[in-house]
């Protein structure tokens, strides 16, 4: 991606990563690739806001060179330590060794522990300002959105917010603005990003949005560090974040199961029939065959989850176990959860699944359904009723 002007004297100099399909150590599938955004502000002083992932350092440097010689950079704002935004720093700092890096105290510590660079670093706090000439940058600490070091940078003269990961999407497209891309894909990727990265931090996010709203600062453009820039209607993504952070859900149930010889799958299908018969939307996933990132995205706005597993060695199967470990970390409070599964002799999957989520903020009190070997007609009816009743008790 070449450098493009996003506002007078402000350039997007980041890179497109069309090929990435796994992110965060395979915890997030990125079917539409991603971008690592970096913004160059050319004023009396020159500032770069964030860099890019290390393997793309040279591309960033070439993009900067198309606008200014890198040695002329006075400041590098490090909104976030994570390597997808700071990985190019060591290469860049070789070209502008006198540039001052600005970030939070935790950022200073984190960058040192990543790169061990002997760099000039200025710690900034909420409300601190950096005069560039015609423009000023102001900083807003945003701890745990989504690392302790995270920070937002705001330029009042352009009403431009650069919030790093917040409001981002893993979405590689030729269009660089929200009004240049497919709207369904854009909002799907924004929701996926929220569900898989920010969901457990919802209360922090809601407070931060309220804090920004109290500041009453105009925001005409949001330039995140992944995906496209929100310029048409930044309020749209802010409002979506408020909805997700408040845990607003739809009458929808996610059924996710793993099956050994098909008995638990039979149960899952009947449960789904029972949910549908109650007039509630249902999405059914065989966890061993499905994209976990996608399932979690669909779970974000669902009121209830039903998890199923065959029993194996008195326990649940390994794919559902790994998935519930992720669900536990998301702390999806306020959701109703239920469990089901088939077994051969001693059982154990239902109990172990309940145990896995007992401290995750969900209600696991509904008795689960366990069926020996292959469900017969009556037992399939039991499954149908289980799904039907579960759907009826949703808030």
Contacts to ligand FEO by CB under 6 A: 80, 82, 84-85, 146-147, 165, 225-226
Residue 161's closest CA among 323, 26, 49?
49
| 198: nearest Cα among 235, 229, 180, 224 | 224
Q: Which is nearer to ligand FEO, 33 or 347 (CB)?
A: 33
Beta-bridge mates of residue 119: none
Contact 4, 12 (CB under 8 A): yes
Q: Is the separation of the CB atoms in 111 and 117 below 8 Å?
A: yes
Shortest Å distance, C-beta 190 to ligand FEO: 14
Least Å distance, CB 161 to ligand FEO, is: 16
Q: Considering the complex, what minimum distance in angstroms separates the CB of residue 146 from ligand FEO?
A: 6
Nearer to ligand FEO, 229 or 275 (CB): 229
Helix (H, G, I), strand (E, B), or coil: what is residue 338? strand
Q: What is the closest distance, in whole angstroms, from the C-beta atom of residue 46 to ligand FEO in the complex?
A: 24
Select 75 or 147, whichever has its Cβ closest to ligand FEO: 147
The residues annotated as belonging to the active site are 24, 80, 82, 84, 146, 165, 193, 226
Q: Which residue lies nearer to ligand FEO by CB, 147 or 154?
A: 147
**Tell me, what DSSP letter sits at residue 41?**
E
Measured in whole angstroms, the distance separating CA 242 from the mean position of its chain's CA atoms is 14
No. of H helices and E strands in the chain?
12, 21
Of 59 and 82, which has the nearer Cβ to ligand FEO? 82
* Residues forming a β-bridge with 258: 309
Question: In the numeric block, which tokens belong to residue 37?
Answer: 């955004």
Q: Which residue is nearest to ligand FEO (CB)?
A: 82
125's enclosing H/E stretch is none
Smallest gap from Cβ 268 to ligand FEO, in A, equals 35
């Amino acid at each position: 991606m070449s450098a493009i002007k996003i506002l007078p004297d402000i350039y997007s100099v980041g890179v497109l990563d069309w090929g990435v399909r796994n992110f965060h150590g395979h915890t997030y599938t990125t079917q539409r690739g991603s971008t690592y955004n970096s913004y160059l502000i050319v004023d009396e002083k020159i500032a770069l806001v964030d860099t890019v992932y290390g393997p793309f350092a040279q591309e960033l440097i070439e993009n900067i060179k198309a606008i200014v010689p890198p040695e002329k950079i006075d400041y590098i704002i490090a909104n976030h330590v994570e390597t997808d935004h700071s990985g190019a720093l060591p290469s860049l700092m070789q070209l502008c060794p006198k540039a001052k890096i600005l970030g939070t105290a935790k950022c200073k510590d984190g960058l040192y522990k990543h790169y061990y660079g002997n760099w000039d670093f200025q710690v900034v706090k909420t409300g601190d300002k950096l005069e560039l000439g015609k423009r000023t940058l102001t900083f807003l600490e945003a701890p745990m959105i989504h690392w302790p070091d995270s920070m937002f940078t705001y330029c009042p003269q352009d009403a431009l917010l650069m919030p790093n990961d917040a409001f981002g999407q893993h979405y590689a497209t030729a269009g660089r603005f929200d009004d240049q891309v497919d709207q369904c894909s854009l909002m799907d990727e924004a929701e996926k990003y929220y569900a898989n990265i920010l969901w457990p931090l919802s209360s922090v996010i809601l407070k931060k949005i309220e804090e920004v709203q109290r500041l009453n600062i105009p925001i005409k453009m949001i330039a995140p560090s992944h995906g496209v820039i929100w310029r048409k209607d930044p309020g749209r993504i802010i409002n979506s974040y408020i909805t997700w952070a408040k845990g607003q859900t739809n009458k929808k149930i996610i059924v996710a199961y793993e099956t050994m010889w098909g008995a638990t799958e039979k149960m899952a299908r009947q449960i789904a029939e029972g949910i549908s018969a109650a007039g509630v939307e249902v999405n059914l996933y065989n966890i061993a065959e499905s994209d976990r990132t996608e399932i979690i995205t669909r779970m974000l706005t669902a009121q209830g989850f039903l998890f199923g597993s065959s029993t194996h060695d008195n326990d649940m199967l390994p794919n559902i176990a790994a998935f519930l470990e992720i669900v536990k970390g998301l702390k999806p409070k306020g959701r109703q959860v239920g469990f089901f599964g088939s077994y051969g002799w001693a059982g154990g999957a239902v109990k172990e699944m309940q145990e896995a989520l007992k401290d995750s903020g969900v209600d696991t009190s509904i008795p689960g359904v366990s069926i020996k070997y292959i469900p017969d007609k009556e037992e399939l009816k039991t499954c149908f009723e289980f799904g039907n009743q579960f759907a009826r008790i949703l808030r």
